[in-house]
Amino acid sequence: MVLRTPSAAFAAASSRRSILQSTIHSSPRSLLIRRPQSSSLYTFPLQSLRGRQSQQIQIQSPLRQQTRRITNLSEPKNEASSTVATANPVAPKKRFRALRFIWRLTWLSAVGGMAYLTYHIYDSKHPPEQLPADPSKKTLVVLGSGWGSVSLLKKLDTENYNLVVISPRNFFLFTPLLPSCTTGTIEHRSIMEPLRHIIRHKKRAVKYYEAEATKIDAERRVVKINDFSDVKGSVSETEVPFDYLVVGVGAENATFGIPGVKEHACFLKEIGDAQQIRKKVMDCIETATFKDQSEAEKERLLHMVVVGGGPTGIEFAGELHDFFEEDLRKWVPDITDKFKVTLVEALPNVLPMFSKALIEYTEKTFKDENISVRTKTMVKKVTDKNIDVEVTQPDGTKVKESIDYGLLVWATGNAVRNVVRDLMNQLPPQKNSRRGLVVNDYLVVDGTEGIWALGDCSATKYAPTAQVASQQGNFLARLFNSMAKTQAIEEDLYNLDQQMQAATNEDEKARLNAEINLKGRSMSKIKQLSPFEYSHQGSLAYIGADRAVADLNWFGGAISSATGGELTYIFWRSAYVSMVFSLRNRILVLTDWLKTKAFGRDVSRE
């Protein structure tokens, strides 16, 4: 080893600095100073003593007392100021542009979605101040809280009316998902939207009475209502006057006069019905597994019978099959060989509103799932343990049978409510109607003025479905909004006419005349409201085992498609989530589906 004195080391360092400076003066380029054991890169500018632009010296290791290798890099020739390349003069290739774009788009979408969700939640929880009732406005009374009535409330501009809503239930029920509540796939509160959440966000304050309409007096223009309060313990009756009335009370379950149906069958129309079915399913299972139960009694208790081959009956049968296959078979293995589901339909096939291909697909799927489908089978009598049926054979002969059951669900059709039947008896044009209130093309009840009907309580050429009722509600909202605008313009025209008669100046008369013509044209446009015309979007039904069927119409019926299977099931779910009225309910339904997928359905009795 060679030892140097401090003066010698200082002289050597000064010599190296002199060499570096002379190199810079001779060729002002970027210099690369490399230390053998280091790959760190440092850059600093140097000012040329010859007056050139500042260059960059790239140093790959700190200056230390050791030998360094100096490498000159090429200098750009045609630019006065330039950035000199690094050790690799070729720029790195730009990779993964598409992935970076997708990541940024996803990130921005997530931020925007969270912002929208936060605003929507805040807005829904903080309703604005409302205008008080205006005695100069007309009183509009709406009966019911179903699809038709709630669609009307959503779109109606309440600033133009004093609105009163009367319904025995203070919530809207999303009925297409009601069969899912019977087995715990979805909790019942996830498909309920309180009416208060809807009416509290309207411009003018809305009166709501939780009561049942018992009589409509068309001549006196009043509605009699009963308050069935559990707190009061008694029934109180009162009257509500109206200028305009919308009847949307729906329909009740049709029993077709068959003995024993009301006493022994479970219906599927309200939340209470779904809760009753859920309890009774588990009651039958727990009773069947009770000690010393006979084999015949076990088979009866574990036989679930569904009467009605429409969408409601089909979806309930599918949900019941999923409940058994995914949960009951695992937690109650004793019932594996005896649990059975039977669907009874009086018509030749199930789902009569669907295409033939989808009907065949549904029946084949039910056969694969061991769900017995008995068509051309009419129920004649119902007891607490069996139903008497009449089966039409292929040769036309009829055979009577008795079918034992543990649970009987009745999902067959609609019947007219008493309040609707009473109004029909008051009006001569309604005497021959059997389905409900006969209405014209604008949904005005025949024989009345200022009374409209929509939904299942009206008799139209369309099927009594939720889709029809929803479109009728939207139509009436546009009608009432147009009526209010027309009335306002008519008042303005009357005032302008009065001013026209009192005016003496020709210029003032010309101005008033032009304004009258303008408002007249505006009123003619508003009055051009076409009659109600139903636009069928299609039909959906869940058939179990993560499969669904869809008969859809596109572009106003120009294109139709019939599909079935697992992809259709995904579409079925997405369509129903999008149709749920509020963001709150959409989140609750999605959460219930995820919870069921992760943890299964609850097999508790309550």
**Ranges of the chain whose pLDDT falls below 50:** 1-7, 9-10, 13, 19-20, 23-87
Contact status, residue 410 vs residue 400, Cβ threshold 8 Å:
no
Give one DSSP letter per residue of 479-501, joined into a string. HHHHHHHHHHHHHHHHHHHHHHH
* Cα–Cα dist 31/9, whole Å: 24
Question: pLDDT tens digit string along 541-572?
Answer: 999 999 999 998 876 666 788 999 999 999 99
- Smallest CA-to-CA distance from 59 within 43, 48, 46 is with 43
Nearest to 346 by CA among 390, 384, 316, 383: 390
Q: What is the pLDDT of residue 519?
A: 75
The pLDDT of residue 33: 42
CA distances for 10 relative to 17, 61, 69, 174, 578, angstroms: 11, 21, 20, 90, 81
Ramachandran assignment for 548, one of left (phi > 0), alpha (psi -120 to 50 degrees), beta (any other) = beta
Reported as a single tens digit per residue, the pLDDT across 290-329 is 999 999 999 999 999 999 999 999 999 999 999 999 999 9
Measure Cα distances from 204 to 167, 222, 501, 575 in Å. Answer: 19, 22, 36, 32
Position 83 scores a pLDDT of 47
Per-residue pLDDT, 234: 73
Q: Tell me, rounded to whole angstroms, the distance of Cα 102 from its chain centroid.
A: 28
Query: What confidence score (pLDDT) does residue 154 get?
Result: 94
Domains of the chain: 128-251+416-487 (3.50.50.100), 261-415+536-599 (3.50.50.100)
pLDDT at residue 416, rounded to an integer? 94
